[in-house]
């Protein structure tokens, strides 16, 4: 003979004491939420983000040839589709020496895409590309690029991703490179540099 199974009661929950209950000690009780009225005569403090000293009237003084260009995953893929050589097309766009930089996160993202994107991986491993090591956890490339660009204003970001472009436009003094009409264009570049305006 086997053991008789005990039938469990449906949807039984342990009874919890409410934090405002009288049986709980006064110190452990939940505080009742009473809002304080704002004093209209009090001086209001607000924190304004401090712009870095390298920006003078939105002109980035740290930008200059040779240009360091942070490359995104989809930028490499779209360059392959448009049959563009990355380094040569960048130089044609900016009229100066360009050093494409690729972070560990972008490299990991390309490796995760698998066999279909092996050409993109081969391009990313090109010796002309500068490899930037990442110290943070996770492999989300967009956050990595935004964080790197806010810390160091010496980069141009190359991307086709709309969301990433929208995030980078909020950061002052960072130009964006993108692909349109089978060529590279640049957005928000200072007027002193020889990048063409289309």
β-pair type (183-187, 176-180): antiparallel
pLDDT one-digit tens code per residue, 30-59: 666 666 777 777 777 777 777 777 777 657
Q: Which residues contact 68 (CB under 8 A, 6 or more apart)?
A: 99, 101, 130, 154, 155, 156
Q: What is the pLDDT of residue 91?
A: 93
> In whole angstroms, what is the distance from residue 51 CA to residue 55 CA?
7
pLDDT one-digit tens code per residue, 65-82: 899 999 999 999 999 999
Q: Which residues contact 107 (CB under 8 A, 6 or more apart)?
A: 124, 131
CB atoms within 10 A of CB 81: 10
pLDDT higher than 90, residue 24: no
CATH architecture observed for domain 70-187: 3-Layer(aba) Sandwich (3.40)
Q: What percent of the chain shows pLDDT beyond 90?
A: 54
């Amino acid at each position: 003979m086997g053991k008789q199974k005990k039938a469990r009661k449906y949807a039984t929950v342990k009874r919890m004491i409410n934090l405002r209950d009288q049986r709980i000690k006064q110190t452990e009780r939940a505080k009742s939420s009473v809002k304080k009225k704002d004093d209209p005569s009090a001086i209001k403090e607000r924190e304004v983000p401090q712009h870095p000293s390298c920006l003078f009237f939105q002109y980035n003084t740290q930008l200059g040839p040779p240009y360091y260009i942070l490359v995104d995953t989809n930028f490499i893929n779209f360059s392959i589709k448009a049959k563009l050589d990355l380094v040569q097309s960048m130089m044609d766009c900016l009229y100066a020496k360009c050093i494409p930089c690729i972070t560990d996160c972008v490299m990991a993202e390309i490796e995760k895409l698998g066999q279909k994107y092996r050409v993109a991986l081969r391009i990313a491993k090109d010796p002309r590309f500068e490899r930037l090591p990442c110290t943070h956890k996770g492999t989300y490339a967009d956050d990595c690029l935004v964080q790197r660009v806010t810390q160091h204003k010496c980069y141009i970001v190359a991307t086709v991703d709309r969301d990433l472009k929208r995030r980078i436009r909020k950061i002052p003094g960072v130009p964006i490179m993108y692909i349109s009409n089978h060529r590279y264009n640049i957005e928000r570049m200072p007027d002193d540099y020889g990048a063409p305006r289309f």
